[in-house]
Amino acid sequence: MRFDVITLFPELFGPHLTHGITRRAFESAQVDVRLWPLRDFAEDNYRRVDDRPYGGGPGMVMLAEPLQRALAAARADQAAADAPAPPLRVIHFSPTGQAITQAVVQELAQGPGAVLLCGRYEGIDQRFLDRHVDRELSLGDFVLSGGELPALALLDAIARLQPGVLTASSHQQDSFSGDGLLDCPHYSRPELLATADGPQPVPAVLLSGHHAQIARWRRDQSLAITARRRPDLIAAARAAGRLSKQDEKTLAGLMQ
């Protein structure tokens, strides 16, 4: 799959594409990311990519014309590289977009890729958005300074779903994609951790070697943390028939 990223800050992407467990997916071009630095598509002497809003008001607006040229360049490169295929969709990262969920990530991870449009300033000239954007996505209800971090978050989430990036079953166990519950706590060495409050042990069941008991403990921990922090996910798991009799017993016990 292929992602063409239109951005004023291409240098933000470099380290994310060359480090960590997702590096394989990017370096092998299993997830082929191509950067289109918007400043390169400004034509006037000042390399302007933004200007004041018609009608007045605070902030600056990203100009339509450099964006049109950047998108045309990405499209031409797609046409040169690919067998004839429908054009890749254009995704605009915007605070007014649909929040990215694991369902959105899975859908995009199965597709051919997209053009990712990263905004800065107050926003983008609406005429460009109306003509070219297929979908608007947000990272959530908080204010960032642009669309680059949301684009990177989406690329990371897509890359780790590619075959061979993670160990065999770890994404089936993810909260939000496996059984829809939050993850249980994890522990590693040492067995006793020295702290100012004295030695902190690992829960004994994890050292017991009883695999069935360990699995039950982890499930109960997941149920407890999900019931406390995300009761909506418990309701969804119940409605989908993903809670066993033993799960319901654990949940009833938490109510006491």
Q: Which residues bind ligand 9D3 (CB under 6 A)?
A: 93-95, 119, 122-123, 138-140, 142-147, 150
Q: Give the DSSP H/E element, type plus range, for residue 40.
A: none
Active site residue 34: no
122 is catalytic: yes
* Residue in 160, 179, 218, 220 annotated catalytic: 160
Kindly state the helix (H) or strand (E) to which residue 179 belongs, with its residue range. none
> How near is the Cβ of 111 to ligand 9D3 at its closest, in Å?
20
- 160 included as an active-site residue: yes
Amino acid at 141: D
Which residue's structure tokens are 């630095």?
37
Q: Give whichever of 20 and 95 is closer to ligand 9D3, judged by the CB atom.
A: 95
Q: Of the listed 65, 77, 136, 174, which one is catalytic?
A: 174
Among 46, 50, 47, smallest CA distance to 62 is for 50
Q: How far is the CB of 244 from ligand 9D3 (least distance, A)?
A: 37
174 is catalytic: yes
Q: Which is nearer to ligand 9D3, 94 or 222 (CB)?
A: 94
Q: Locate tokens 């943390």: which residue?
A: 225
Give whole-number Cα distances, 202 to 2, 189, 218, in Å: 44, 9, 13
List the catalytic residue out of 44, 51, 122, 248.
Answer: 122
CB 86 within 8 A of CB 134: no
Least gap, CB of 161 to ligand 9D3 (angstroms):
21
CA-CA-CA-CA torsion for 114, 22, 149, 178, nearest 10 degrees? 80
The smaller minimum CB distance to ligand 9D3, of residues 10 and 95, is found at 95
Q: Report the nearest approach of ligand 9D3 to the CB of residue 129 (Å).
A: 12
Q: What is the enclosing helix (H) or strand (E) of 95? A: strand 89-99
Active site residue ranges: 95, 122, 160, 174
